[in-house]
């Protein structure tokens, strides 16, 4: 199943790395999945972090976490600057989210994922100045047509034209936030449909690039780190993500300007991640548009994952069955 290892290219080139990363997200999903519906997002995240960190230590690469998780909601975290992997090979940027959708996991709602992305060292955009970004994500059919600077109506009509459908057959994924009310009104005014999601815009964005998900576009303001993770994934699909930094106040705007960033600039997929050799892996924790969630079935645990490599344009769906007794240390213990 794994492809031959490419040697001596001086970058993150081992094709087998993609399948090793799936093992990492499977572990995080299995550990975090025990907390689905338990109402405790920090414990869920803590379990997923522990499992992800443990499995990352077995992967043969030289990674530095440049996009960690947990700072926003004071959860456990794989911290920025943490060294992961065995240390072998050239330097790699790593973006992790052991649970993209901790609240979704805690509430037992759809679209929670365990996620990791890896690219050549120094190639991921630094999101530290501004945490939020206005995003537009579409699949390959409309990749060369849309523009975040255009009116919402025009982008929807362009996607409809590219896909050979009517605007009222287009579905737009949007985070359910008060800040998006105007956006939602504009989408619905075109006749297009909205698919509102509580959290987890990485899943929504990738769904917009994949056939058969029922999602055609992802729009709206979400996390900048999630946008960079998404960029690693969409490179393998031929889709695009466009982003524009969205400071929440003047202090954050000034911070961005002090860092030399133009908050009005449209950031392209290749600016969010400059490398053409990106790896992305995700495993479903709860059911969603993109993946099926973890299933615990007595002696076995089943997972569904997606793994992508941008250089080859390869997207794999991975169905796995795990012997439950091998994962007992990650089970949630009741008092």
Instruction: Say what the pLDDT of residue 169 is.
Output: 98
The Cα 207–Cα 333 span in angstroms is: 34
253 shares its domain with 288: no
The response to whether 178 counts as a known ligand-binding position is yes
- Residue 205 to residue 195: CA distance in whole angstroms: 12
Q: Is there a single domain that holds both residue 97 and residue 173?
A: no
> Is 226 assigned to a binding site?
yes
pLDDT at 14: 63
| Longest Cα–Cα distance in the chain | 57
191 and 261 within one domain = yes
- Tell me, yes or no, whether 159 and 192 share the same domain: yes
Residue 76 labelled as part of a binding site: no
177 annotated to bind ligand: yes
Pick from 248, 272, 296: which residue ends a domain? Answer: 272
Number of domains in the chain: 2
The answer to whether residue 256 is domain-embedded is yes
CA distances for 282 relative to 23, 112, 142, 259, 304, angstroms: 10, 10, 24, 31, 9
Residue at 127 is within a domain:
no
pLDDT of residue 3: 36
Q: Distance of alpha carbon 6 from its chain centroid, rounded? A: 26
In a domain, 67, yes or no: yes
Same domain, 58 and 105: yes
Could you tell me if 266 and 283 lie in one domain?
Answer: no
Residues 96 and 137 in one domain: no
What CATH number does the domain containing 76 carry?
3.30.540.10
pLDDT mean values, one per 10 residues, the chain (335 residues): 37 71 97 96 93 93 84 60 89 94 95 96 91 96 97 98 97 97 98 94 94 95 94 95 96 91 95 95 95 96 96 94 93 65
Shared-domain flag, residues 116 and 235? no
pLDDT of 76:
54
Cα separation, 271 vs 309, in Å, equals 18
Determine whether the annotation assigns residue 247 to a binding site. no
Burial class of 40 by CB neighbour count within 10 A (0 to 12, 13 to 18, 19+): middle
**Contact 194/187 with Cβ under 8 angstroms?**
yes
State yes or no: 69 annotated in a binding site: yes
Structural domain harbouring 214: 132-272
Is 45 within any annotated ligand binding site? yes
Same-domain pairing of 97 and 142:
no
Euclidean distance between CA atoms 181 and 217, whole angstroms: 17
Q: Is residue 70 part of a domain?
A: yes
Is 107 domain-assigned? yes
Report residue 256 as tokens: 């961005």
Whether residue 102 is annotated as binding a ligand: the answer is yes
pLDDT value, residue 184: 98
Answer with the one of 272, 296, 322 that is the final residue of a domain.
Answer: 272
Do residues 152 and 268 both lie within one domain?
yes
With contact defined as beta carbons under 8 Å apart, do 197 and 169 qualify?
no
Closest CA to 227 of 108, 97, 92: 97
Residue 255 maps to a domain: yes
57 falls within a domain: yes
Give yes or no: residues 17 and 111 share one domain: yes
Cα torsion angle, 321, 327, 330, 331, sign: positive
Residue ending a domain, among 252, 272, 292, is 272
Q: Are residues 61 and 152 in the same domain?
A: no
200 is in an annotated binding site: yes
101 is in an annotated binding site: yes
Provide the CATH number for the domain around residue 178.
3.40.190.90
User: What are the distances in angstroms from CA 77 to CA 42, 48, 80?
Assistant: 10, 10, 9
Say what the pTM is.
0.90
Q: Residue 5: inside a domain, yes or no?
A: no
Q: Return phi, psi of residue 243, to 5°.
A: -135, 155
Q: Is 201 annotated as a binding residue?
A: yes
């Amino acid at each position: 199943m794994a492809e031959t290892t490419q040697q001596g290219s001086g970058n993150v080139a081992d094709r087998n790395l993609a399948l090793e990363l799936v093992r990492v997200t499977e572990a995080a999903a299995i550990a975090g999945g025990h907390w689905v519906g338990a109402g405790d997002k920090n414990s869920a995240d803590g379990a997923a972090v522990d499992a992800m960190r443990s499995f990352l230590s077995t992967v043969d690469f030289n990674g530095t976490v440049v996009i960690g998780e947990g700072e926003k909601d004071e959860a456990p975290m794989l911290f920025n600057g943490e060294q992961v992997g065995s240390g072998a090979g050239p330097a790699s940027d790593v973006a992790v989210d052991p649970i993209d959708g901790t609240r979704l996991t805690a509430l037992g709602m759809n679209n929670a994922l365990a996620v990791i992305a890896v690219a050549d060292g120094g190639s991921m955009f630094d999101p530290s100045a501004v945490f939020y970004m206005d995003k537009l994500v579409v699949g390959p059919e409309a990749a060369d047509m849309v523009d975040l600077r255009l009116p919402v109506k025009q982008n929807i009509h362009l996607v409809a034209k590219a896909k050979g459908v009517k605007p009222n057959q287009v579905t737009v994924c949007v985070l359910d936030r008060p800040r998006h009310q105007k956006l939602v009104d504009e989408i619905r005014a075109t006749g297009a449909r909205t698919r509102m999601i509580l959290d987890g815009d990485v899943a929504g964005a990738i769904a917009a690039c994949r056939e058969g998900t029922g999602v055609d576009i992802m729009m709206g303001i979400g996390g900048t780190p999630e946008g960079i993770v998404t960029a690693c994934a969409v490179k393998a699909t031929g889709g695009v993500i466009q982003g524009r930094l969205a400071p929440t106040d003047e202090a954050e705007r000034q911070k961005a300007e002090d860092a030399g960033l133009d908050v009005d600039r449209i950031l392209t997929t290749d600016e969010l991640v400059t490398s053409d050799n990106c790896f992305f892996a995700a495993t479903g924790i709860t059911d969603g548009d993109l993946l099926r969630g973890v299933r615990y079935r007595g002696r076995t645990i089943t997972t569904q994952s997606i793994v992508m490599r941008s250089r080859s344009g390869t997207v794999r769906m991975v169905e796995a069955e795990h012997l439950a007794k091998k994962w007992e240390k990650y089970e949630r213990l009741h008092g």
